[in-house]
Amino acid sequence: MDLSCFSTTYPEARDKFLHAATARGATLGHWPHPLKGPGGEALSCDTAWLGPEDAAGVLVVVSATHGVEGLAGSGPQVDFLRGPASAQLPPHTAVLLVHAINPHGFAWLRRVTEENVDLNRNWVDFTQPLPANPGYAQLHEHYVPRHIDAHSVAAAEAAIEAYRQQHGLHAERVARSTGQYTHPTGIFYGGSGPTWARRTSEAILARHLAKARTIAIVDMHTGLGPFGYGEPICNHAPGSDRVNRAKRWWGESVTEPLLGTSSSQEKFGLTEFGYERCLAHADIARHLPAPARRARAAGRPLAVEPRRPLRRRGGAHPQCLARPLLSAVRGLAGDGVVAIAAGLRARAEGVVVMISIEFLVTSLVVVRIPGTGVLYAVSTGLVQGRAASL
């Protein structure tokens, strides 16, 4: 794969996506954001649709749910558009690429939206009592200390470790990142109402997927798991038809937070829960469509299989940023997408299956800007062989 599919800024990524989509003849959609980027540039979530408008089966690929992580997620979308697979979709099948669903976080290099909301915790029903996270409430002042001098940070880390020793590692992970709805300046804040990004997602789903009966959704992320490893995460209920189907489509490497097999854990307000509500017309899960079984029997690739981690002493080579990610999604962003899409041909039954792909190509640092109460979640890593703040 040509590594030029990847970008180092939001404007560069958007330009590459729109250029590749136009060259492929995709139907474009634009969802302008009301705010501007750091250089005064316009912000927008953009969509590219390939295939018949009334396709019964649709593969949806989303980037930048967590803003800055769009630097990783945009690359496979551009690669797919540039490659031959995007011109060879099976009959009755379409692909919807949602580029930069959180363009503000992408442009400003933040995980969260402009509201300081984690979009992947924002899909709760705000007409109902919000989920409680008493562990976070207890630890908030330590997760977000008022001062970041060495003494204050050490005291905060000691308090968090004490909680961990008393309640266990898993309980502390739940407190930290499951989601919280009580501290707007805190981390993993789920919001007080639907964000711009969530409302835009709902509008995109309504416009493009009202007629689809079989839908596969891949949400691209980075930050969890071993370095350079692509982890397909499925948050559907353990043992459910959707989990079983996800494993048949993407392989046994699919992990389940609710079973403790994932580098993640149970969470509130996930995007996929909201997608399920929006796509209830396609929410009939019974068995893997026959064309997918035939594809497997014929030996064609159906799985997005993570390869072994790729490491290099002394820091990451630029290839280490891209190659593990690309090998992990080769079935998606290469010829395998045709075989995956072959599993979406069934029209008699409706199915919604969603997974998140996590690639650890960066690390996450949370910083409070002194005197402002503003939190920045910054991913740091290597781009083009040089140290960079992403």
pTM of the shown model: 0.78
Q: Which of 39-48, 282-291, 359-368 has the lowest mean pLDDT?
A: 282-291
Say if residues 207 and 217 touch (Cβ distance below 8 Å). no
Give 293 or 129, the one with higher predicted confidence. 129
- pLDDT of residue 389 exceeding 80, the answer is no
How sure is the predictor about 341, in pLDDT bands with cuts at 50, 70 and 90?
very low
Calculate mean pLDDT across residues 102-119.
98
Burial label for 184, CB within 10 Å (0-12, 13-18, 19+), is middle
- pLDDT of residue 294 exceeding 50, the answer is no
Q: Looking up tokens 């038809």, which residue turns up?
A: 241
pLDDT given for residue 123 in this prediction: 97
> How high is the mean pLDDT of the chain?
77
Angle, alpha carbons 309-295-208 (nearest 5°): 85
pLDDT given for residue 304 in this prediction: 28
Domain definitions of the chain by residue range: 3-129+179-389, 134-176
How sure is the predictor about 83, in pLDDT bands with cuts at 50, 70 and 90?
very high
- pLDDT of residue 326 exceeding 50, the answer is no
The structure tokens listed for 15 are 């330009």
The Cα–Cα gap between 194 and 158 comes to 35
Give 140 or 361, the one with higher predicted confidence. 140
How sure is the predictor about 250, in pLDDT bands with cuts at 50, 70 and 90?
confident
Calculate mean pLDDT across residues 264-278.
89
The Cα–Cα gap between 175 and 360 comes to 22
Class of domain 3-129+179-389: alpha beta
How sure is the predictor about 365, in pLDDT bands with cuts at 50, 70 and 90?
very low
- pLDDT of residue 68 exceeding 50, the answer is yes
pLDDT given for residue 179 in this prediction: 97
Q: Which of 76-80, 258-262, 291-295 has the lowest mean pLDDT?
A: 291-295
- Looking at the chain, the number of H-run helices and the number of E-run strands are 12, 10
The structure tokens listed for 94 are 């379409």
- pLDDT of residue 21 exceeding 80, the answer is yes
How sure is the predictor about 260, in pLDDT bands with cuts at 50, 70 and 90?
confident
pLDDT given for residue 322 in this prediction: 33
Q: Which of 14-18, 54-58, 239-243 has the lowest mean pLDDT?
A: 239-243
Q: What are phi and psi of 137, to 5 degrees?
A: -55, -35
Q: Positive or negative CA dihedral for 103, 106, 108, 114?
A: positive
DSSP string, 270-328: -HHHHHHHHTGGG----S--HHHHHHHHTT-------------TTS--HHHHHHHHHHH
The structure tokens listed for 142 are 């330590």
How sure is the predictor about 102, in pLDDT bands with cuts at 50, 70 and 90?
very high
pLDDT given for residue 355 in this prediction: 66
pLDDT given for residue 216 in this prediction: 87
The Cα–Cα gap between 267 and 284 comes to 24
Q: Which of 87-101, 123-137, 163-177, 268-282 has the lowest mean pLDDT?
A: 268-282
Say if residues 251 and 339 touch (Cβ distance below 8 Å). no
203: Cα separation from own chain's centroid: 18
Calculate mean pLDDT across residues 162-170.
96
pLDDT given for residue 16 in this prediction: 98
Calculate mean pLDDT across residues 107-125.
97
The percentage of the chain sitting over the pLDDT mark of 70, rounded to a whole number, equals 72
